Chains A and B, each alone.
Chain A
């Protein structure tokens, strides 16, 4: 390699190059998000249906007794807000992984994977980008919830940010692992049935765990083993500026495990993708 080429290589692949690459991936994700307004609307409508219809119907029936982090009785509609925030992130994480499957089928994914930057960095950048967009969607939902009359502490807006970032990262990483396992786009419907819905319903998103325990101890155990429960609880406690160390620990641990699994799955040496023959000659 010539001296000029080597100098150019060092310049582009130095710390500045990493930042440029990260910014480029985030910019592209942002552009795609802007171009797909339908997805944004769908992401908002889904939790709003739960908040405006489901929770409104139950608010007079179900009051939630005093339990941490709440200091007083709360309405059911207030109770479900953290679960619906986690739902927004969960669905965006899955949508993002769905778009990775689509990209892989359409070939766009290869453009990302042949970048000279390390594979782990490219995947982390993609995760960062999808997390940023899911956090933006969460704030859009929070604004609508606030306009709908959901009472939140003033500090909630800022206090919930770290939790949203962390939960968005965990759920995005989980989606990335799933995307590596799903071979074709049409198989993704199975993910909805076997992953998304069970994880959402078998969690503390819609009902307090103590109520679940009373009605079904087995379901309670399933909820306790579900990482999504801890994402919901971390978000719930953060909204009230309270720390939930167990939820934080589980979400952190799951983030690390899912991210490592995603990097492994997309690793050309060990990943699942390398076992699949490509089309053509």
Chain B
């Protein structure tokens, strides 16, 4: 319908099928109504593209009936768009949003009946209409496309309106994603009347003035691209946050290494956790940081009576003094190999949300031992 080759149709279908399979996996892992709805939308679009590719295949045959596959394709697209509207409506949660979605579902039901009936009425051997070329259109074909095309300006505008409402109430990347989704659907909605007019002109053997203007391509492809991107924007922001956190974790873990190494030489070796399998790549900095923090604390508690003996009570919560005491104990090898069991002392335990005493201790210890 828009000038792609049959191979390109299949390639696009495969890409969307892969996205849909990924969405099914996500929903199976953590089922929720929004997840189910967005998965239905993606499955519908993937099915739509597969049937569209099948219709194009069928259209190449002299006695083919491409409009049967095209009718099924439209049914899949109707389901996808109803799921999309419900997806935004459930997030909006207002009566207005659900009323709009109900109207769209009702309209989709009528369009579905009309599309199937119109598709069956088109005789065998009639090829699909190419909107890029001004070719004659029979009454049956024009009726089929008109029934289909009448749905989308309303459905897309409804989707854009509902996504815009959700965008206004959300924050952060979700707000951006919903704003993109809203803009995308308004762009697609703005493009829809052009297709109806083009069909009308083609049916009358004429060309729509200005139909070759690039603005229509921008509206169609720009809208479609933005709509797909809107679903990935939140995931992309989430993953970007994770990668930034990996760097922070790696730096924090590195800062603790020197302190951990010296505490290891001062405390029982059994406190060292053995290697256990392969850690997933994106978890390694956090795992290494956690290991350093837990084992530093295990050892600080274990040797705390000896650190405490070197410090007055009020200095046991000050990283610099504790670092000096550890450095002295380590330098003079003052902790016995076989530790007797004694009462521990609280060392650097008064942490607050804005103060990481262990990180401060590691920093002070590194400065003292490298002077």
Is A bound to B?
no
